[in-house]
Amino acid sequence: MRLDPPHPSTGNRNDSAGVKSCNGGDKPADSAPIIIDCETSSRKSSEPHESKEFESKEEAFNFYKAHALSVGFSAIIKASRRSRISGKFIDAKFVCTRYGAKPETSSLAESSELTRNAHVKKKRGRINRSWSKTDCKACMHVKRRQDGRWIVSSFVKEHNHDLVIDSAGLRNVCSSNSAQVRRKKMCPSLARHESTGLNSSGSISGFREGDVQVLLEYFSCMQDDNPFFFYAIDLNKKQLLRNVFWADAKGRIDYLNFGDVVLFDTMYKRNESKLPFVPFIGMNNHFEFVLLGCGFVADESKSSYAWLLRAWLRSVHGRAPKVILTDQDPMLKEAVDEVLPASRHCFCLWHVLSKIPEKLGYAMRQHKELVDEFHKCILKSQTEEQFEKSWWKLVDRFELRSDKWIESLHDDRLRWVPMYMKDTFLAGLSSPQRLESIVSVLDRCLLRKASLKEFLQQYKIMLHERCEDEAKSEFDSWQRQPGLKSPSPYGKQMAQIYTHAVFKKFQVEVLGVVACHPKLEGRDDDATNIFKVHDFEENQVYLVTWNEDTADASCACRMFEYNGFLCRHVMIVLQICGVNTIPTKYILRRWTKNVKNGEGARQVDGIESRNERYSDLYQRACKLGDVASLCQETYRIATAAVEEAVRKCESINNAVQTVLHPSSPSNYALHESQGLIQGKTKTEEIISGKEKE
């Protein structure tokens, strides 16, 4: 790969972006790609076998971890046992992280009783990996002999899931000369500084000497695997790496279906993790998070955040989300307002609540009930009048009027208080507690102060495991019917439409209808009925409105706004009003089994340009790969259809004597249309009109 100068006609078209970006394509004929692989002999030598000896338990575990790395999985210590007499370790069992059965996952708790502990940190190193369990039996059991040496007593080699052999340049298996040639073609300015020894770690915190070359090699290998992989780099005034962004092909395709709400999570930039990792997170139709893009940032400035947002926006062809969720931060606020002015900018509720101990610690030491009262004010207020009254009562009671953070929260109340979220869909990404699925996955890559090499290894394995889990959820939703726990017509209706994960959450609300008692309070001028629904399970009264003419419903609990399906309070009102089906407007396509089938398909007759046709076909091909790879049967159907389509197209092309564009589309034009490149790999270099320090 190489970086080419900007196209002469549009060199300053996106000066504000200040990025060097790469979309994949075929390698130039004169620069053969480096194939990074472990030698077969070295893999065999690293494979455990019975009677193999070690000096210590630690040496045995390090050996098994090295074996895991070469084969393509992660290893943990499952169990170890000490002698009752000496107290020393006498045996240990090392297993694949997918060892053990996957437990049933519970629905997200929303009550203040659970949310008051949202700020409590996990113990260092205690990471929940239960989300990825497949009951894999792969393991190595070692025992300590009387002479103090350790020996392998048993070894199970077979895994029941796919393995991900790292090929991203994380192991030093390439010759330095060939690697340098490739890096110079990828990014001449970085390679130039590396050769002079100025700084090959860039200006990103946590990057070590040589990490820039590791990252660029990783990007290059990812583009080898899939040309739809996108990355961008930001250089400072001294041409050192300042910010980085990348998005894999699946994340870019997922955005087409699940890009309505995006969480821009800067938590890892501020916590104890070594690498300043900033992910763009979405939620798919199985209530599983998806990575829509990732980045490393040099600092918490507006310019860095704005650059990262622009780079991500380019990766999704300029399609801004309806809602962008972030932490409450003035620099983030300015950056989002500048780059995404049309998006509804909200603060993640968990981010706000988790800051209470940090911001109000001085008041908490004097008033232990502060957190409970704060949660009650935020989560229980159903009208603006109730919120304002509770807020100022809270502020005066705990003497917080002079607190700047409290003042800023009230100024920004429209961005985070649940009462103000009416008609703003948040896709389950904003809740009183941080989503456990995000914690368990991303913490594995970052919590233990991982180096860049370790991070990239874990990141690649994590992506593969996420795809595997999503494929299983997709298969189950189509092939198996969820169990109905009540004769409710709403349950029967949605069991055919929702995915299993969404229906499981929805069915909790269906079952909760029996604990609700509605009472008609009156009617507005526009024929909207107003009910008070007493929820005896939560011991709370909620205001519910229903307009029969427009089929508009609303509940003060904001279940639909936060999670995207109707609550028990609305359903009991529908029931007494004789409405036996969920109105279509309250069935969000993003939660259905059919979300990936035909949504957003373009009219083929309206595409005149060959470049546009190429880009459209590429996106359709990525989508086909997503749905056709679920099982062998769909794979056979897809490959047969593609081969037949290719034969027909070749036949038509050969019959046509005059072709509008006989040669391949121009690299630059393709980059301009959709960021896809055919033929030689090109990279657009956009020179910022304003140099960054």
Strands 20-23, 289-296: pairing is unpaired
Euclidean distance between CA atoms 82 and 89, whole angstroms? 4
Tokens 């630059």 map to which residue? 668
Average of per-residue pLDDT across 49-67: 86
Residue 282, H or E segment: strand 277-283
- DSSP tag of 592: B
- For 267, list phi and psi in degrees, rounded to 5: -60, -40
Euclidean distance between CA atoms 228 and 626, whole angstroms? 13
Sign of the CA dihedral running 466, 471, 476, 482: positive
Return the closest-CA partner of residue 231 out of 32, 424, 388, 21. 21
Tokens 């994960």 map to which residue? 501
- For 280, list phi and psi in degrees, rounded to 5: -100, 120
pLDDT mean across residues, the chain: 77
Which residues contact residue 431 at a Cβ distance below 8 angstroms, ignoring those fewer than 6 apart? 108, 110, 349, 350, 562
Which residues contact residue 663 at a Cβ distance below 8 angstroms, ignoring those fewer than 6 apart? none
CA 375 to chain centre: 27
Is 317 a residue whose pLDDT tops 80?
Answer: yes
* Cα distance between the two ends of the chain: 27
- pLDDT tens digit sequence for 457-482: 888 888 888 888 888 888 888 888 89
pTM summary value: 0.66
- DSSP tag of 413: G
| Exposed / middle / buried, residue 304 (Cβ in 10 Å: 0-12, 13-18, 19+) | buried
CB–CB of 222/459 below 8 Å?
no
Q: Which residue has the higher pLDDT, 36 or 250?
A: 250
pLDDT value at residue 22: 54
- pLDDT tens digit sequence for 550-592: 999 999 999 999 999 999 999 999 999 999 999 999 999 999 9
Average of per-residue pLDDT across 292-310: 93
- pLDDT tens digit sequence for 133-181: 888 999 999 999 988 899 999 999 888 887 765 433 333 323 333 334 3
Is 285 a residue whose pLDDT tops 90?
Answer: yes
Euclidean distance between CA atoms 496 and 487, whole angstroms? 14
Average of per-residue pLDDT across 246-256: 91
Euclidean distance between CA atoms 278 and 293, whole angstroms? 9
pLDDT band at 271 (very low <50, low <70, confident <90, very high): low
Among 340-344, 393-397, 591-595, 614-618, which is the least confidently predicted range? Answer: 614-618
Lay out the sheet containing 241-247: strands in order across.
344-347, 323-326, 261-264, 277-283, 289-296, 241-247, 230-235, 20-23, 683-685
Is 546 a residue whose pLDDT tops 70?
Answer: yes
Query: 211-225 vs 176-186: helix axis angle to the nearest 10?
Result: 80
Return the closest-CA partner of residue 499 out of 516, 520, 479, 485. 479
Q: In the numeric block, which tokens belong to residue 113?
A: 């009783």
